[in-house]
């Protein structure tokens, strides 16, 4: 079947994606320390270059790579991990795969290239083994516990004390103590289970996630003087942490972001609301005035 002008434009889009992919995978192969992973990335880069050459035979034009695109995914992979970077790149290729399917009736090679692209994703997901994701469960434990417990504690302390400095002091003591306690519990838990994870590293990941969350939740009470505004800022920080972490895990692991975000946010905010009400009730019941 003859190729229409609009299909030539679609082929140019594919050509652009393939040359971008070739340079991105090539740079990532240089970054990866694991020799097997690097070899697979180089092989996939070579296939991307082959696809580029195929589409060039139809369009008869050279298309330069988008350097900004390559730099973006390279640095995302360096900062947030190879799994996250490649998953994010694969998510951006969904529209491109739709073009492949639209062209498959006109250009026979499109079906094979689409099959190659699906194979790329499978190979990449199978080959990647990153420490950060292996210990994602420990990070989730630290984040979840800190968000639920400390957001609730700060909400309760807000009405109990009504003084930002006292609330921050109590929050820091509670949060740091809980971080050590949670790390110790994670260490003992992993050691007793005898799994593949290193108990000490699991404990460290849990503790670091907990302390970072504590800092983000307490900072508003150190910066502002109005305890209600501080609580509002703390809740916004909690929602932001929940959103960012769940987006990262959803992309890296292929989970449903909306469901996980709403579930975690509902639990954290529900506990905060109950603690807020409880703090106000206990303060009135005991007749405490600060």
Q: What is this structure's pTM?
A: 0.66
Give residue-wise pLDDT tens across range 96-129: 777 777 777 778 787 777 777 777 766 666 666 5
Q: How many residues does the chain have?
A: 290
Tell whether the model's pLDDT for residue 287 goes beyond 80: no
Query: Quick one: pLDDT at residue 88?
Result: 81
Contact between 217 and 154 under an 8 Å Cβ cutoff? The reply is yes
Nearest to 145 by CA among 177, 179, 185: 179
CB atoms within 10 A of CB 96: 17
Tell whether the model's pLDDT for residue 209 goes beyond 60: yes
The residue that leads in pLDDT, 193 or 1, is 193
pLDDT band at 64 (very low <50, low <70, confident <90, very high): very high
CB atoms within 10 A of CB 175: 21
pLDDT band at 131 (very low <50, low <70, confident <90, very high): low
Give residue-wise pLDDT tens across range 141-183: 677 777 777 877 887 778 778 888 988 998 899 888 888 888 8
Query: Quick one: pLDDT at residue 63?
Result: 92
Residue 75 makes CB contacts below 8 A (sequence gap 6+) with none
Q: What mean pLDDT is reported for the chain? A: 80
Query: Quick one: pLDDT at residue 29?
Result: 87
């Amino acid at each position: 079947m003859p190729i229409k002008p609009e299909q030539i434009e679609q082929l140019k889009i594919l050509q652009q994606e393939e040359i971008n992919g070739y340079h991105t995978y090539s740079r990532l192969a240089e970054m990866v320390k694991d020799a097997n992973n690097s070899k697979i990335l180089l092989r996939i880069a070579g296939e991307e270059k082959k696809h580029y050459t195929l589409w060039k035979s139809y369009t008869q034009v050279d298309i330069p790579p988008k350097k900004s695109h390559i730099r973006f995914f390279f640095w995302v992979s360096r900062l947030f991990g190879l799994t996250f970077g490649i998953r994010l790149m694969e998510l951006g290729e969904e529209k491109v795969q739709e073009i492949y399917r639209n062209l498959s009736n006109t250009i026979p090679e499109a079906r094979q290239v689409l099959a190659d692209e699906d194979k790329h994703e499978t190979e990449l997901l199978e080959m990647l083994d990153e420490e950060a994701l292996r210990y994602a469960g420990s990070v989730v434990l630290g984040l979840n516990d800190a968000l639920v417990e400390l957001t609730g504690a700060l909400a309760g302390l807000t009405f109990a004390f009504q003084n930002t400095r006292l609330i921050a002091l109590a929050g820091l003591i509670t949060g740091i103590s809980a971080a050590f306690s949670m790390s110790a519990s994670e260490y003992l838990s992993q050691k007793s289970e005898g799994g593949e994870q290193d108990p000490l590293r699991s404990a460290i990941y849990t503790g670091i996630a907990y302390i970072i969350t504590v800092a983000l939740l307490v900072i508003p009470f150190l910066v502002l003087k109005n305890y209600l505004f501080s609580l509002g800022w703390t809740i916004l920080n909690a929602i932001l942490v929940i959103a960012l972490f769940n987006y990262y895990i959803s992309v890296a692991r292929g989970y449903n972001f909306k469901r996980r975000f709403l579930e975690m946010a509902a639990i954290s905010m529900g506990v905060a609301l109950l603690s807020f009400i409880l703090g106000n009730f206990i303060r009135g019941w005991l007749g405490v005035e600060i």
